């Protein structure tokens, strides 16, 4: 819709969202995620995207090792209005720790983005920052770089929305260390399809 003026949309709470699933109104495997109260329809996934998800998951499993696990495209509870399904995230503990409730505070969140780059840098970054996710990475498939977003920052004179104060771009020849696994070195090239 190209029009400038849009009415305000209803913001769903996570409770309402879960009731939609309970009532079979939405199915758990519907390509939908709740972000900041909006039921966002996920873009269909290209094979490049899926390949990057697998590469990132493998690299992170190797880097983090015991005491952590990696989940892909699974729900994460951020707050009352957000239950996104990031492409990859690293969570402390073992899968059985989350039998009764989705994880809330992953050590690292990674989104793979091509056409969704604007969403990943905008609304998603704001939601992750607001939930104080310390380490958020975007595998930018358009420019073939890794973007790190760190230091969640609240809105203020300098920024209108929640966001990250420290962002950096790393080329394919660089290597990065996740905040929660500081002694590791992950070559960016290992993450790119």
Partner 1 sequence: MRGDEARICLRTLTQPEPADTMRAMASYEPRTRRLSRAEYDRLIELGVFQPGEDIELIGGELVVAEPQGAPHYTAIRKTAKALEAAFGPGWEVRTEGPIGLDDDSEPEPDIAVVPGNPDDYARAHPSHPALTVEVAESSLAIDRQHKGSLYARAGLADYWVLNLVDRVLEVYREPAPDSEAVFGWRYARLDVFDGAARVTPLAAPGSSIAVSLLLP
Interacting residues with partner 1 (CB under 8 A):
1-11, 16, 19-20, 23, 25-26, 32, 38-41, 116, 118-119, 122-123, 160
CB of 105 to partner 1, least distance (A): 25
**Residue 68 and residue 76 in contact, taking contact as beta carbons nearer than 8 Å:** no
CA-CA distance, 120 to 137, in Å (whole number)?
9
Lookup: tokens for 81: 């209005």
CB of 22 to partner 1, least distance (A): 10
Lookup: tokens for 29: 């495997």
113 or 131: CB nearest partner 1: 113
12 or 64: CB nearest partner 1: 12
CA-CA distance, 163 to 127, in Å (whole number)?
8
15 or 94: CB nearest partner 1: 15
Strands 88-92 and 163-170: unpaired
CB of 83 to partner 1, least distance (A): 13
């Amino acid at each position: 819709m190209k029009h400038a003026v849009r009415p305000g949309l209803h913001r769903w709470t996570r409770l309402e969202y879960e009731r939609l699933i309970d009532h079979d109104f939405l199915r758990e495997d519907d390509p939908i995620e709740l972000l900041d109260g909006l039921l966002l329809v996920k873009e269909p996934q290209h094979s490049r995207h899926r390949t990057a998800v697998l590469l990132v998951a493998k690299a992170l499993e190797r880097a983090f090792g015991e005491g952590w696990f990696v989940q892909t495209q699974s729900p994460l509870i951020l707050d009352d209005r957000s239950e996104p399904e990031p492409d990859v995230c690293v969570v402390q503990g073992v899968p059985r720790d989350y039998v009764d409730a989705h994880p809330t505070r992953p050590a690292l969140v990674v989104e793979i983005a091509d056409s969704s780059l604007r969403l990943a840098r905008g609304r998603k970054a704001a939601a992750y920052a607001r939930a104080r996710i310390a380490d958020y990475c975007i595998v930018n498939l358009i420019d073939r770089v890794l973007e790190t977003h760190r230091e969640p920052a609240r809105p203020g004179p300098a920024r209108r929305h929640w966001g990250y104060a420290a962002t950096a771009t790393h080329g394919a020849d660089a290597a990065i260390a996740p905040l929660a696994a500081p002694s590791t070195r992950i070559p960016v090239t290992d993450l790119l399809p």
